[in-house]
Amino acid sequence: MECFSSLLFRRSSSLALALALVSVCGRASEYEYLGWKLDGYNSGRSYGKSLQCVDIPEDLRLCHNVGYGQMLLPNLLEHETMAEVRQQAGSWVPLVHKACHPGTQVLLCSLFAPVCLDRPVPPCRWLCEAVRDGCLPVMEAFGFPWPEMLACDKFPQDDVCIANTTANSTHSTAFTGLSPACPPCDNEMEMETILEHMCASEFAIKAKIKEVRQEQSDRRVILEKKRRLLKKGDLKKRDLKKLVLFLKNGADCPCQQLEQLGNMYLIMGRKVDEQHLLTGIHRWDKSNAEFRKAMKAMRRHKCPAFHTVFK
């Protein structure tokens, strides 16, 4: 087990546990402890498979830089294989990149890749609640609810748990609440970002924007008639002709793309209830190398299964 820099265990009444940690690290750890009553997670009994320490692979992008090198399997989400972990964890990488809360990666990795101790340690309830309050508006902008797997009331409030220290967080971006731009509009022109937005979307279109109207707390986006379908999803031809997109809760947040109607855009969306939500918008710029790479990679890029995570 390695020493850790980006997490914090709450205070412990167990001297033996604290001494064990010091003996492993050779110095006082940044982890502290609080109680040890996680009978449900004891020795992997809840999974029917013995716990084992495994290296966090580099291709587990969500957690490979979280501050420790080994994790427990099965994890706290009952994934028994690294293949399961990779498939589910990939869905959360875009949310971490949105920097909606500095503790997002710590919360998620405590579940997907719990630190290698003698039993898994869950996140603190208050950490879950803080991340939820910061990130739920961003998720809702993409049409995703806060999933049951992250129901905060199932995490401990005063038992041993993992918290986040802002000063040592793996995010250097200061937490200021929501992104200053609407989440679907806050796009860097990088291949990885474009592909992440593409994966979070059901369809993609090349088109110009004809008109933008405010509709209660949303913005209604009307496209020009000439449009090219790049990613079909479940979008039917008849739907494409009369397609209207909504920028969820976007009435008051800035979106530079929606103020420059003369440009051609890569427009992405997904259907939620009876509305088609705008989930990403990038200027169509073939002179940009990152954009060209993204368009080329789009045909072969394998997306994580969002629908199996955000239920």
- Percent of all residues in the chain with a pLDDT value above 70, rounded to a whole number: 76
The predicted model scores a pTM of 0.71
Helix (H, G, I), strand (E, B) or coil at 228: strand
Specify the range with the lowest mean pLDDT, choosing from 17-31, 85-99, 190-204, 230-244: 17-31
Looking at every residue in the chain, the average pLDDT score rounds to: 78
pLDDT (average), residues 261-290: 92
Tell which wins on pLDDT, 300 or 258. Answer: 258
Are both 155 and 13 inside the same structural domain?
Answer: yes
Say yes or no: 300 and 246 in one domain: yes
**Looking at the structure, do residues 155 and 207 belong to the same domain, yes or no?**
no
Instruction: At 179, list the tokens.
Output: 């992104």
Residue 183 lies in a domain: no
Average pLDDT of span 224-232: 90
Is there a single domain that holds both residue 141 and residue 197?
no
Quick one: 196 and 162 in the same domain?
Answer: no
* Same domain, yes or no: 18 and 133: yes
Q: Once rounded to an integer, what is the mean pLDDT over residues 62-80?
A: 91
CA–CA distance from 61 to each of 120, 192, 253, 290 (Å)? 20, 12, 30, 20
Query: Based on the domain organization, do 149 and 202 belong to the same domain?
Result: no
Indicate whether 144 and 201 sit together in one domain: no
- Distance, C-alpha 308 to centroid of its chain: 14
Residues 119 and 240 in one domain: no
Q: Write out the residue range of the structural domain in which residue 235 sits.
A: 191-308
How many domains does the structure of the chain reveal? 2
Same domain (yes/no): 88, 235: no
User: 276: domain CATH number?
Assistant: 2.40.50.120
The Cα 34–Cα 207 span in angstroms is 55
- 195 alpha carbon, distance to own chain's centre: 14
In a domain, 68, yes or no: yes
- Listing DSSP states for 86-125 in one string gives HHHHGGGHHHHHTTS-TTHHHHHHHHHS-BSSSS--PBPH
CATH number at residue 153: 1.10.2000.10
Residue type at 96? V
> CA angle at residue 102 from 141 to 38, to 5 degrees?
100
Residues 98 and 14 in one domain: yes
Q: How far apart are CA 119 and CA 214, in angstroms?
A: 51
Residue type, 88: Q
Pair 172, 10: CB distance under 8 Å: no
For residues 163 and 49, membership in a common domain is answered with yes
Q: Is residue 177 in a domain?
A: no
Closest listed residue to residue 286, CA positions, set 302, 265, 268: 265
